Structure 1
Amino acid sequence: MLDSQGDQQQVYAAHLDTDEQQLQVLKLSQAVDDTAWATARTGALVTSDSTDNTIVVVTGPLFRGCPTSVTPAGANNAPAQPGPNYLGRINLNTGMVSSVPTTGDSLKPGGLIFLGASGFGHDDQ
């Protein structure tokens, strides 16, 4: 998967290097940057907060197989004074990006990765 942040799209590739290779474009309701998939209901999303120069760990019940993205104001038509980044969940059928509620300190995420109990990207059942 590749984000086309400015175009508000994600491009998905399947069956690479085969005769059945396919590309599909998902039009999003807003621009997104990094995207991570939880491979288990437990684990954490790890993100950077460049405004505070910190690493933030987001825990709680996660939606296995559901993409979670950092949503910046990075669209080609973004306003001059965009709002801050936040975590968003992407509906793979409609492209709708909806806010993921978080508690604690204000979160302004940058990069994003899923960390399961066994390590980065592992399926923890």
Structure 2
Amino acid sequence: MNTLVRSLPLAAALFFSTQLSAQQVVSTIKPLHLIAKAVTDGVVEPAQLLPDNASPHTFSLRPSDMQLLTDAEVVFWVGPDLEQFMLRPLQRTDAMVVQIHSDSDPVDDHDHDHDHDHDHDH
């Protein structure tokens, strides 16, 4: 989540400082499409790479998808844990890449051992 918080202001600044066309903002999956749409706030209509019913675990890019990425100025993606298929294409694009989740995300490192002692003696 920290990556998201740090990346959104930068992405928003880019959207408002340049004129973008509809094909220049790409998101991989539906939740990120909604984030991209909120960040652009009517300035552009982002393109969603994966259909709503597609699994990012088994998805394969088509030539038209590669063209979307080539034309993109900004690409929103979750990260390599979920979208392994995006690693090579993102290395080939000049777009600003906004990764929402990173391996160093502290969410999984949270200690879930909470004190359940009710502070009374028996």
Normalising by the residue count of structure 1, what TM-score does the alignment of the two structures yield?
Answer: 0.22
Q: Which one has a larger percent helix, Structure 1 or Structure 2?
A: 2
Normalising by the residue count of structure 2, what TM-score does the alignment of the two structures yield?
Answer: 0.22
